[in-house]
A and B are shown apart, each in its own frame.
Chain A
Amino acid sequence: MNPLAAIGRAFLAFLAGTGRLGLFVAATVSHCVRPPWYPRLLLQHVIEIGYYSLPVVGLTTLFSGMVVALQSYTSFARFSAEGAVATVVVLSITRELGPVLAGLMVAGRIGASMAAEIGTMRVTEQIDALTTLSTHPVKYLVVPRVLAGVISLPFLVLVGDVIGVFGGYIVGVYKLGFEPVVYLQRTFDYLEPYDVISGLVKAAVFGFLVAVMGCYHGYHSRRGARGVGAATTNAVVSASILILVANYGVTELFFAR
């Protein structure tokens, strides 16, 4: 086999995939602004993503806040800067850990389930049936999920931020011996609205990416159980990678001077 041909084939497949994804995103965005809309489905998916992901996001941010407090305390003690623990916890949670960890957790939980559900609908001809019933599958299946992702993730991250800061507080006060009032004061001393808002914008971007990748891979799932399995894996992997890439992009946009 000619290795150059193999590279060319892989490159062409990559370009075709990128084009297909671009068209899918364009169709999704265009259907978002054109009626009919399905508010009942939107609410259903907001509950599914926002409400039912709370335990997993809450636990993740709680322990992340606790670990950051502990790690920063032991590190900062080397140059007598233990007092910065509360600030480090709140900034790292609101700016980075809250949105990124929530995004990755939701990618695993929701991205996978979207890909599996839509993939199964593709395999069992339910998507074809939608078309024959004069209902555009992108409008009915993809738009409510993507909008729900964009709406839910910021709320989820906001709650996660509070829980993460609380995790840092527990370790700071009960393990490291900080005064509760002092810890809380230092938490808010250097916190700017910008820090929280940047995290929420990231969350909305991540929500979009998770939902789009879940729907895209499910929608283009190949036939059979293997096809649906591959779609699920690809949805989680691609959403996770895109979250990390987009995280850098949004950070650069907000904080690069």
Chain B
Amino acid sequence: MGETVPRIRIAQVCKSFGTNRVLDGVDLEIGRGESVVVVGPSGIGKSVLIKCLIGLLEPDSGTIEIDGTRIAGSSLRRSVSGRFGMLFQNGALFDSLSVLENVAFPLTRGRVHSLAAVRLEALRTLARVGLGPEIASLFPEDLSGGMRKRVALARAIATDPDILLFDEPTTGLDPIMGALIDSLIVQCVRESGATALTITHDMDSARRIADRIAMLHAGRVLWQGPTSRIEASGNEVVDRFINGVVG
């Protein structure tokens, strides 16, 4: 029984803003240790889906379960929030804190950053994303876009969460830096054995990260399957999207 319960189960989730129905019955299951990428054009509701999952938005209807426990609209939401790690589109690093304090934040929940053990753990996490201790005292504004993303990734994985969420991880980066971030994501997910959900419109990135790809269209999951099969999906909308065909 325990083997068959998916880590994340999203069922018939709907979310509207005024008269605009963004999610219209999304169904998606993600197994333990699996990396799923949700693709779709900008503005299709990918970010809304991830925000519903993490509790920043409450779905109008439908269920979201973690390990078989319903969390949407439930008081259990807070108890599972510590199991998520999220990489935001623009990093969302705290600009009033140094790099070290940013990475140490999930370890201390914003309280004392000066403890030696916390500092060591934060430096170790920075090393996992290929950053040395020399940048620890810098502030986010002193970093390039790629470095900011790597620090944000370090912050997301600092507590080794069960579930990692990546919101457009390669947006705003050059192709080489994008590929580097993708490889770091794959490495971190493999090392920690976490379940990963990524949303992106970058198909190259999706192919590098995903075990399985799901395409969001008109508020629903239009197609999903192993990454290797997306070229032969047989779905016209998916073909148009992955080949960048307008119209």
Asked if B56 is at the interface (CB within 8 A of a chain A CB), the reply is yes
List 18 contacting pairs A-B, 8 Å CB cutoff, sorted by A: A36-B109, A40-B111, A117-B96, A124-B95, A125-B89, A126-B94, A128-B56, A129-B92, A130-B110, A131-B54, A131-B55, A131-B56, A132-B86, A133-B109, A133-B110, A133-B155, A134-B81, A135-B105
Report A-chain residues with C-beta under 8 Å of the C-beta of B105.
133, 135
CB distance from A40 to the nearest CB of B (A): 7
As a 0/1 sequence over residues 64 to 96 of chain B, the CB contacts with chain A under 8 angstroms (1 = contact) are 000000000000001001101110111011111
Q: Contact check, B110 vs A125: say whether CB atoms are below 8 A apart.
A: no
Which A91-124 residues have a C-beta within 8 angstroms of B?
A: 117, 121, 124
Measured CA separation A131–B88 after assembly (Å): 12
Report A-chain residues with C-beta under 8 Å of the C-beta of B112.
40
CB distance from A192 to the nearest CB of B (A): 44
Measured CA separation A72–B144 after assembly (Å): 61
Q: Contact check, B106 vs A133: say whether CB atoms are below 8 A apart.
A: yes
Report B-chain residues with C-beta under 8 Å of the C-beta of A128.
51, 56, 88, 92
Asked if A38 is at the interface (CB within 8 A of a chain B CB), the reply is yes
Q: Which of A40, A131, A134 has the most CB of B within 10 A?
A: A134
Question: What is the interface of chain B mostly: helix, strand, loop, or mixed?
Answer: loop
Question: What is the interface of chain A mostly: helix, strand, loop, or mixed?
Answer: helix
Question: Given A131-B55, A132-B81 in contact, is the A125-B90 Cβ separation under 8 Å?
Answer: yes
The number of A-B residue pairs with CB atoms under 8 Å apart is 53
Measured CA separation A246–B109 after assembly (Å): 36
Which of B82, B88, B96 is close to A129, meaning CB atoms less than 8 Å apart? B88
Closest A-B pairs by Cβ, 8 of them: A129-B92, A125-B92, A132-B86, A134-B82, A133-B106, A125-B88, A134-B81, A126-B92
Q: Contact check, A126 vs B55: say whether CB atoms are below 8 A apart.
A: no
Q: Which of B78, B85, B88 has the most CB of A within 10 A?
A: B88
Which of A38, A117, A124 is close to B90, meaning CB atoms less than 8 Å apart? A124
CB distance from B30 to the nearest CB of A (A): 18
Which A154-209 residues have a C-beta within 8 angstroms of B?
A: none
Residues of A within 8 A of B (CB): 36, 38, 40, 117, 121, 124-126, 128-135, 140
Report B-chain residues with C-beta under 8 Å of the C-beta of A125.
88-90, 92
New A-B pairs, 9, CB < 8 Å, besides A128-B51, A133-B105: A36-B111, A38-B110, A121-B94, A124-B90, A129-B86, A132-B54, A133-B109, A133-B110, A135-B105
Q: Contact check, B92 vs A124: say whether CB atoms are below 8 A apart.
A: yes
Measured CA separation A129–B86 after assembly (Å): 8
Which of B54, B86, B95, B110 is close to A135, meaning CB atoms less than 8 Å apart? B110
Measured CA separation A25–B155 after assembly (Å): 31
Question: Given A131-B55, A131-B81, A132-B54 in contact, is the A126-B110 Cβ separation under 8 Å?
Answer: no
Q: Which of B93, B96, B110, B155 has the most CB of A within 10 A?
A: B110
Question: Given A124-B92, A132-B84 in contact, is the A38-B55 Cβ separation under 8 Å?
Answer: no
Measured CA separation A36–B110 after assembly (Å): 10
Report A-chain residues with C-beta under 8 Å of the C-beta of B96.
117
Q: Contact check, A140 vs B110: say whether CB atoms are below 8 A apart.
A: yes
Measured CA separation A174–B221 after assembly (Å): 82
Report B-chain residues with C-beta under 8 Å of the C-beta of A130.
110
CB distance from B220 to the nearest CB of A (A): 25
Measured CA separation A125–B171 after assembly (Å): 15
Measured CA separation A128–B152 after assembly (Å): 13
Report A-chain residues with C-beta under 8 Å of the C-beta of B90.
124-125
CB distance from A122 to the nearest CB of B (A): 11
Report A-chain residues with C-beta under 8 Å of the C-beta of B93.
126, 129
Q: Contact check, A38 vs B88: say whether CB atoms are below 8 A apart.
A: no
Measured CA separation A113–B233 after assembly (Å): 53
Q: Contact check, A38 vs B92: say whether CB atoms are below 8 A apart.
A: no
Residue of A nearest to B105 (CB): A133
Which B99-125 residues have a C-beta within 8 angstroms of A?
A: 105-106, 109-112
Residue of A nearest to B56 (CB): A128
Report B-chain residues with C-beta under 8 Å of the C-beta of A134.
78, 81-82, 106, 109
